[in-house]
Amino acid sequence: MVYYQENQSAYNIKKSKVIIQNWIEKQKNPAKQRKTQMWLLILKVERQVYLFMLSILHIF
């Protein structure tokens, strides 16, 4: 069981490295860069809205 878990974690690390490399490759494409920046902006805004809502709920 321990052996399996070690293998699994090594596999997950390799998998995440591949995902990161693919993401870096995509970043080199300007159209993809803009899309990614847009998504990051949307995530930031969503987070701010969420925190704002939490603070309002906290008041009541």
CA dist 28 and 56 (Å) reads 41
Per-residue DSSP letter, 29: S
Q: What is the pLDDT of residues 31-48, one digit of tens each?
A: 777 777 888 888 889 888
The whole model's pTM is what?
A: 0.38
Task: For residue 6, name the pLDDT band (cuts at 50, 70, 90).
Answer: low
- Non-local CB neighbours of 3 within 8 Å, separated by 6+ positions: none
